[in-house]
Amino acid sequence: MRHFDPTSKNDEEADLGLAGENLRMSAIAKVPALNIVIQIVGSRGDIQPFIALGTELKRYGHRIRIATHDVFKHFVHESDLEFFPIGADPSELMAYMVKNPGIIPKFSTIKAGDIGKKRAMIADILEGCWRSCLEPDLDTGVPFIAEAIIANPPSFAHVHCAEALGIPLHMMFTMPWSPTKAFPHPLANIKRSNLDPSTANYLTYGMIEMMTWQGLGDIINDWRENTLSLEPIGAIDAAGVMESLQVPYTYCWSPSLVPKPNDWPSHIDVCGFFFREEPQYSPPKHIDEFLRAGPPPLYIGFGSIVMEDPASVTEIILSTLRKCGVRAIISRGWSNLGEGREDENALFIGDCPHEWLFKRVSGVVHHGGAGTTACGLLNARPTSIIPFFGDQPFWGEMVAAAGAGPRPVHHTSLTEENFTVIIKTLLDPNTKRSAKAIAAKMQCEQGVRRAVESFHSNLPRTNLACSLLPTESGVWMYDAKALKKQKKKAIEGLRLSPKAVTVLSKHKLLDLTNLNLQHSNPFHLETERWDPLTATSSSVLASVVDFSHGFGSLASAPVKAYKHYHPAKASFSPDVPSTAKTASAGSGAGAASKAGINKMMASLIKGSLVDFPVALTEGLNNVPLMYGEKVRKRKPITDWKSGSKEAGKNFVNGFADPIYCLFKQPAVGLTKHGGLGLVTGLGKAGMGLVVKPGSAMFGLFAYPALGIYQSIVGASTSATQAAILKARVAHDAFFNDVHQPNVEEEAEVLRKFNELK
């Protein structure tokens, strides 16, 4: 049963005060122009809000690339935004979701082999999303490299691409994807239970993430390893990664309809629906004549939904319209409603802008896509939602709770009887009044503008701008040691834009060998450890699994190699001796077996010398978390230097902290809870005296070992980093030719560089 928390923030609390608004505007003023890729998976209704967002971001000087399905190329180009195809057919995705509206697929779907097809689609999307971050425009050849990512959750690649590039990520979506007690995850189906409804709501989000990862985790991890050269991540860590990283989220729905829940933190915003500018539209004659021929009709349409039996739905609609004496404009959509049918009460149409049409109808009936819902409510139209999957039941409940329409009726339950009730509710004066009240609030929200402000205010501004040209993005880092040799001082080095690099190189003030890529938002997805027992046992289990995969590939990999060889053997020239052909097949199988042996050895060495010691070190360090205390978090370890540095810090803190807490915790306990608090404080301090020094000692070996491993891995991942570097250099070379630094910019760069002391 769905539970909606009435204690969510009210309109006044949701609105930012004057001070907050000034802070946001100040943040925007300090943001340099960025290359932003917006990765979206879904239907046209999912894409359209991001078209509006991209158009607004472009006004601030950003370069916007929309990365989505190939079929939306023309739609994106119509809005004068760049486009990049990520593969997959959205109509097939929609058909799959209609058949399987929940997170668990039906047996018939599994039997038909649709799961394998969907997994293959996801693999294509992952590759397409990564290419959208680096590859030139496929039509113009203009180079591109992403400096920030905006994405919706179903694109899946977002956080992994951001990790590989070391750039900011901002999630935006039309349905709730962040854990809250206010309402359940839209894909969850909660049955009655003894569990508190608020707690049940909260738990659904982790459950959906875990189940999604169970189905796709192997594909994502293979892609991380083989394409991005990143370490694989476990299911538990993957399920909570967005929360642990505090990735900013912006939800594009009206706070008047669904207020921001009280338990969402400050990096999550509810900004309002995203509306594009109303397109210029002149209706064809048949639409204009139908509208003029009688009272305003209803609108009925299901957009990108692919129905299994559109003919029966068409019959229900037409029969009910005749029974109620009501006219309707019916959008054929992807299901091609009304094929071969004509009716005096109905007009079947193709594409028509909702912004224009909804001003001329009496009410709207649709599947519950967020964009269609928003457009109907903005135009004060009573709304009935007939959901199929995803967030559609959620929006149906929200509209009904606001009084702007009837309760949602699932498409499988639609009959002439309940459709008659739907029509009567839409035409009821009370429903119309509620719809007008919501529209009045929505018209003041400016969702797109607020979303842009949210994006800007959550950027890591101190790491973005060029040190010498603050209006430009600082994408290169000039080494601090090189500056010291030039008798210049900058503790962390200089962040330089392509223009600044051009100017300094021109005046021979830059040693290009000391120039490295600047990562404005570096992070690494790592396993979270909770205590020494689970930490070490999970580490051992992971090593066993890796070893088993390597052992299994001793048999499976040669077979795959032979299968790969067998179809291609016909390509051998007839002049090639059969022994050479046999040798070719044998060498392929031998190489595959060798790879399996290497994986087995690597899992043993890494597990015993790196994973186990690190797990034990961090498990001991994190024991105080179990009784509510805070612990120090180490910084990312990327090489032996950072590993040695973290080992030293952990060693000092591992002995200093428990001694300090030996006095602090009993005193705090006594002050707050008297004698019992004193005893509890002594217990906590005693535990710290045991586990913290242990972490300090093991860390002396574990963290340098992890650093050495990362250095080795870093050396072997040069292909990925080389691709990033190549894209960066190509981009900068192209735009330096097009936009040479002007006289004022050159003077500013030289002045600021010469002022460094």
Find all residues with CB under 8 Å of 471, minimum gap 6, and list them: 32, 33, 465
In the block, which residue shows the tokens 């120039």? 515
* Burial state string for 5-41 with b = 16 or more CB within 10 A and e = fewer than 16: beebbeeeebeeeeeeeeebeebbeebbebbbbbbbb
Q: Percent helix, strand, coil in the chain (nearest 5)?
A: 60, 10, 35
- Please state the pTM of the whole predicted model: 0.81
Dihedral sign (CA 594, 595, 596, 600): positive
pLDDT of residue 594: 59
pLDDT of residue 7: 33
> Among candidates 336, 329, 286, 292, which has minimal Cα distance to 311?
336
For residues 73, 74, 75, 79, the Cα torsion angle rounded to the nearest 10 degrees is: 100
In the block, which residue shows the tokens 């894409």? 47
DSSP per-residue codes, 245-268: TT--EEE-S-TTTSPPPTTS-TTE
CA pair distance 60, 156, nearest whole angstrom: 27
CA pair distance 643, 655, nearest whole angstrom: 19
Q: How many CB atoms lie within 10 A of CB 214?
A: 13
CA pair distance 546, 577, nearest whole angstrom: 39
Token pair of 505, please?
């190189």
pLDDT of residue 262: 95
> Among candidates 214, 360, 198, which has minimal Cα distance to 278?
360
Rg (CA), the chain: 30
Using 70 as the pLDDT threshold, list the residues of the chain that sit under it. 1-29, 94-114, 190-193, 490-491, 527, 530-531, 534-535, 538-603, 713-718
Domains of the chain (ranges plus CATH)?
Answer: 11-273+449-457 (3.40.50.2000), 285-444 (3.40.50.2000), 465-522+724-755 (no CATH), 532-716 (no CATH)
CA pair distance 385, 366, nearest whole angstrom: 5
pLDDT of residue 159: 96
Spatial contact of 139 and 65, defined as CB atoms under 8 Å apart = no
pLDDT of residue 233: 86
Report how far apart, in Å, the C-alpha atoms of 552 and of each of 141, 223, 523, 590, 664 are. 44, 20, 33, 15, 53
